[in-house]
Structure 1
Amino acid sequence: MFWLGALLSTVGGLWLVVNAFRSSGVLWGLGSLLVPFVAQIYGVLNFAENKIPLLLSVVGIAMFFMGYGSYVEQMQAMQAAAEAMPQ
């Protein structure tokens, strides 16, 4: 779920950045590209044309944080198993 969330969030965010550059100009585009969550703000302000990318971005962010805990636990278990192996 962690990696799927990261992928969805990235695709949705890039789609929002492209839409910001295309329809609203350079300032919204650069803001969306460089400042965290400006792309999502742009998507909310221009909801009619950004429903799908905004939904992808928000769902991806939620899935990313929901899967983060299990991902960390899995990595810690793998590290503990690697340290327990004889060399």
Structure 2
Amino acid sequence: MEDEPFDLPVFVQLGAINEIRSVSSTQEAAECLLFRWPRGTGPKFATAIEACLAVLRGAEETFHARSAFEEAAKEVGILVVTKR
């Protein structure tokens, strides 16, 4: 299983109290997608889950999970944009 840290964390806004969460690895992204994700998901949600599973199986590189997770967060409007 590959769960190396993301090169940069992805910040998402979750929960009723607008909690901002820093997601820093594939494992964290998968947990967020499976247990904390808002309703009304779209196709990028499914792609993100598939990407996380592929990385955790060792079939893909970590950046695939990060990119897919970020796109899924954009899709539902929970991505918090930070300056790099």
- What is the TM-score of this pair, normalised by structure 2? 0.32
Tell me which protein shows more helix as a share of its residues: 1
- What is the TM-score of this pair, normalised by structure 1? 0.32
Rg larger for = 1
